[in-house]
Amino acid sequence: MKTLSRRAWVLYLMALAFLVGVGILLYTFVTNADSWAMKRTNRHIYNSGVLSTAGTITDESGAILAQTVDGKRVYNDSKNVRIATLHIVGDSQGYIATGVQTAYSDVLTGYDLINGIYTLKQYGKGSDIKLTVNAELCTTAYEALGKNKGTVGVYNYKTGELLCVVSKPSYDIANKPTSDIANDTTGQYDGVYLNRFFSGVYTPGSTFKVITAACAIDNIADIDSRSFKCEGEYKVGGDSVKCMSKHGTVNFEKALNQSCNSAFAEIAIELGAENLTNTVNQLGFGQTYYLGKTRLARSSFDLTDAATVNIGWAGIGQYTTKVNPCHMLMIVGAIANGGSPVQPYYIKSINSPSGDQTFKPSTVTLAPMFSETTADRLQGMLRSNVINYYGDGKFPNLKMCGKTGTAEVSNEEGGLSPHAWFIGYSQREDLPLAIVVVVENGGGGSSVAIPVANKTMQKAAKLFG
């Protein structure tokens, strides 16, 4: 009896071990099958490590950006379009991680866990993807950046559609300058595989004053009746925050119009680390946002143990603060949209090889970043910046609201000339578009970033207004 029971135990244990083994195998298969099948050695999909057989990618107007012809990926006929859309379309070797050809390679090739590459075998390709971006608009924005590196993003702040996603430097995917990129010592290809709009973070400079202003509206009851004195700097103890000019006595709105560092350093120090931190947390700093399969770089703001003068610097968008351009676009979009941002997206539709639409995006409104009252007040101030300071003539017929930034950068971020920023949106009913422009080492925000924003928005007005 004893022997029998011992044998039974051994059998039970063996059965258990077998089941655990099967479980582990299944788990490994389910979690790794994607990467096994998508391995670049899978000849059904990749040819010498290059994506070959895949669906067509078009822009919102139907213009072909990438397709497979005779087993090879072929891109748009226009070199300028190929260069301007490189980062959103992506390459075929996976260097540009956020590009659709890499992030959506399973969709394009038709691979899925249940059917494997069945679709691919049956139809010779996977699904077709239509993007929300417009290739002509991307080309205009890319060219507007001139010789500088940087990024431009435009989105419909009511629907969430991204109409323009541009990152510079870029290259012509049809004639990739492989050895020039590999051996570059001039810096002209720095970060060429990075989509700066999704994956970059920059010192925000004075565009951050919009955020400090929001915090002030929420926390300083009499902010509109305050006045600030600027004599070219704001002194804190033995230290000071420098201003670009001696603005004299300014009120809150004029301080934003003229981008007075002294006034905003004073406001930030009065608000203090806790209020400022609460505001940026509400705006999604430190959060990870996803646009479909694309993860945005996180914006950061940290006043832990900051000296008083550094709270002043942080209030004008310097110190250690870093912002992702797409996140900044969401913030300005939230202001335009009455306080709550609409989630941006770049896939307009996915169609299976048999022609069925298998994906249709929907407009998703995220949690409020600003109260309606605060958004209203900021709308007025951003419109006043353009009317009273930059001049409506800089944006003919666009009814623009906005804020420029000239962000001083450390050596590790490129040093030399500051980054030029513009964030803003059109108040035209027929043109609910917000824009973000970052011109790396471009110099002054108003002289450099405004013309880029205007050229891009004028083109958008022609295409969509």
Q: Does 262 bind Zn ion (CB under 5 A)?
A: yes
Residue 194 vs 230, nearer CB to Zn ion: 230
Pick from 363, 336, 331: nearest CA to 432: 336
Q: Minimum CB separation from Zn ion for residue 418, in Å? A: 17
DSSP of 74-140, one letter per residue?
A: EE-S-HHHHHHHHHHH--SSS-STTSHHHHTHHHHHT-BTTTBTHHHHHHSS--EEEES--HHHHHH
Dist CA 261 CA 251 (whole Å):
13
The smaller minimum CB distance to Zn ion, of residues 122 and 227, is found at 227
Q: Which residue's CB is nearer to Zn ion, number 103 or number 381?
A: 381
Least CB distance from residue 368 to Zn ion, whole Å?
Answer: 31
DSSP 304: T
The Cα-based distances of 245 to 16, 232, 240 in angstroms read 77, 5, 14
Is residue 260 a contact point for Zn ion (CB under 5 A)? Answer: yes
Q: How many residues does the chain have?
A: 465
Q: Judged by CB under 5 A, which stretch of 133-141, 255-263, 323-331, 388-396 contacts Zn ion?
A: 255-263
Stretch that binds Zn ion, among 22-30, 246-254, 279-287, 438-446 (CB under 5 A): 246-254
What is the distance of C-alpha 18 from the center of its chain?
48
Burial of 346 (0-12, 13-18, 19+ CB in 10 A): buried
Nearest residue (CB) to Zn ion, 152 versus 269: 269
Options 75-83, 148-156, 241-249, 277-285: segment touching Zn ion (CB under 5 A): 241-249
- Between CA 421 and CA 439 the distance in angstroms is 6
Determine, following the binding rule CB under 5 A, whether residue 209 of this chain makes contact with Zn ion: no
Residue span binding Zn ion (CB under 5 A) among the ranges 49-57, 239-247, 337-345, 428-436: 239-247
Q: Which helix (H) or strand (E) holds 433?
A: strand 433-439
Nearer to Zn ion, 21 or 232 (CB): 232
- If you search the block for the tokens 């999604």, which residue do you land on? 284
Determine the size of the site formed for Zn ion (CB under 5 A). 5
User: Can you list the positions of beta strands (E) in 128-252?
Assistant: 128-131, 150-156, 162-168, 227-230, 233-236, 239-242, 248-251
Amino acid type, 219: N
Report the residue number, 92 or 261, with the smaller CB distance to Zn ion. Answer: 261
Q: Which is nearer to Zn ion, 230 or 423 (CB)?
A: 230
Binding segment for Zn ion (CB under 5 A), chosen from 88-96, 183-191, 204-212, 254-262, is 254-262
- Nearest-angstrom CA–CA distance, 363 and 450: 29
> Which among 350, 373, 383 has a CA at the least distance from the CA of 127?
350
CB under 5 A: which stretch of 64-72, 140-148, 191-199, 253-261 binds Zn ion? 253-261
Minimal distance in Å, beta carbon 248 to Zn ion? 8
Three-state SS at 193: coil
> In the complex, what is the shortest distance from the CB of residue 247 to Zn ion, in angstroms, rounded to a whole number?
4
Check binding of 243 to Zn ion (CB under 5 A).
yes
Q: Using CB under 5 A, which of 247, 327, 383, 419 touches Zn ion?
A: 247
Nearest approach, Cβ of 243 to Zn ion (angstroms)?
3
| CA dist list (Å): 307 to 62, 211, 233, 304, 314 | 54, 20, 17, 9, 11
Q: Which of residues 287-306 bind Zn ion (CB under 5 A)?
A: none
217 binds Zn ion (CB under 5 A): no
Nearer to Zn ion, 249 or 287 (CB): 249
Smallest gap from residue 228 Cβ to Zn ion (A): 8
Minimum distance of Zn ion from residue 393's CB (angstroms): 24
Is residue 254 close enough to count as binding Zn ion by CB under 5 A? Answer: no
219-238 residues near Zn ion, rule: CB under 5 A? 230
Measured from the CB atom, the residue of 183 and 249 that comes closer to Zn ion is 249
The pairing of strands 57-58 and 433-439 is unpaired
Please say whether the beta carbons of 143 and 130 come within 8 A. Answer: no
Cα(465)–Cα(443) distance, integer angstroms: 31
Stretch touching Zn ion by CB under 5 A, among 53-61, 93-101, 261-269, 321-329: 261-269
Nearer to Zn ion, 88 or 230 (CB): 230
Minimum Å gap between C-beta 262 and Zn ion is 4
Is 209 or 327 the residue whose CB approaches Zn ion more closely?
Answer: 209
Q: Contact 343/366 with Cβ under 8 angstroms?
A: yes
**Contacting positions for Zn ion (CB under 5 A):** 230, 243, 247, 260, 262
